[in-house]
Amino acid sequence: MLPSLTHEEILRYSRHLLIPEVGIEGQQKLKAASVLVIGTGGLGSPVLLYLAAAGVGHIGLVDYDKVEASNLQRQIIHGTDRLEALKVDSARSRMLELNPYVQVDTYNEPFTSSNAMQIAADYDVIVDGTDNFATRYLSNDLCVLLGKPNVYGSVYRFDGQASVFDARHGPCYRCLFPEPPPPYLVPSCAEGGVFGVLPGVIGTIQATEAIKLILGIGSPLIGRLLLYDALNMSFEYVKLKKNPKCKVCGEQPEVTGLIDYFEFCGVPGIGHEQDTVEGKEITAVELAKRLKSGQPLYLLDVREPHELAISSLPGAVNLPLGQLAGRMSELDPAREIVIFCKSGIRSARALEILLSAGFRNVRHLQGGINAWARTIDPKMPIY
């Protein structure tokens, strides 16, 4: 039996009630529904705001991060007054300001194979608002095993994707991407950047699909991958087919339980986001001492050229990570090389490339140039 609507709710949702495809019964379905949103960042922000505004009765938030200044360019559910607050608390507060008639449960913890089943079990729809492949494969496999729809979204620079993966009626994420890309081949938004309004477009599409699924109206993006190009303002669709040999939703599935998705994707687990090579790091303090003493060091900046306008270290040579493998002949293996990037992620990958090529006298700057700005040069901007 569907829950009734109070007079206050009827007034609040009146513009929904006027739509024949929604009406009183549809609004009651929204009130009875539950949606779990994984991630309260760029994609999660519009998803959560619109689900709350629409009157989805029970919404769960999973995240374990805090609000940072660099989030605010796109994560519109948070504000300057909530810097350093837990993202789930910040998001919940804003959602209840928008609509106090919904229930918002928070899970301030990483979403992993050990807790995903327990967290997601009681929700009707799962919305994936994450920005890493390990969690995308986890949410996909989870939804296949639990028989739930997975509302997918992805953003990078000016490009976005959206789909609904529901193995009961069409393909799953693994049907499209059986294996993850090589580690660090695809930079994260933190390393490659994202156009501020882009997550708003894709996240709003995800919210639309979730609400349509609850109401049972329209044609969801099952079996279709929406591709959005913000620069050209173009929308395209790619038809997707179910892979009968899919390892999780195929005719003879090999994946019958949740696995270690960080190992599967070849990336560090929670708490080890910056891939490091033991004994091959140098801190900003150590590097400053070395430079002050006049010891000869070759500073290798593997950031993109346009990042040099934000911050730079004197005397550093810029060689973007994507060009490193083809330009190693420009480097002298006999010299002591210190590699740096923005935060240490790309420099760790560059370190691996050089070590595998026979370089031995090479290290990378822990925390990147942002760590230098925090501990050595407070006049340098952090980005």
State the catalytic residues: 189, 341
Q: Which two tokens stand for residue 20?
A: 């024949």
Three-state SS at 348: helix
Q: How far apart are CA 352 and CA 50, in angstroms?
A: 43
Q: Which amino acid is at 93?
A: S
Secondary element (H or E) of residue 150: strand 150-156
At 155 the three-state DSSP class reads strand
Q: How far is residue 123's CA from residue 151's CA, in Å, rounded to a whole number? A: 13
**Residue carrying structure tokens 């477009």:** 201
Q: Which amino acid is at 373?
A: A
Considering only CA atoms, give the Rg of the chain: 23
Rounded distance, CA 251 to CA 244, Å? Answer: 6
Alpha carbon of residue 343 to chain centroid: 17
The span from the CA of 215 to the CA of 28, in Å, is: 9
DSSP state of 123: -
231 with 258: CB under 8 angstroms?
no
Can you tell me the distance from the alpha carbon of 362 to that of 257, in angstroms, rounded to the nearest whole number? Answer: 41
Token representation of residue 109? 């913890």
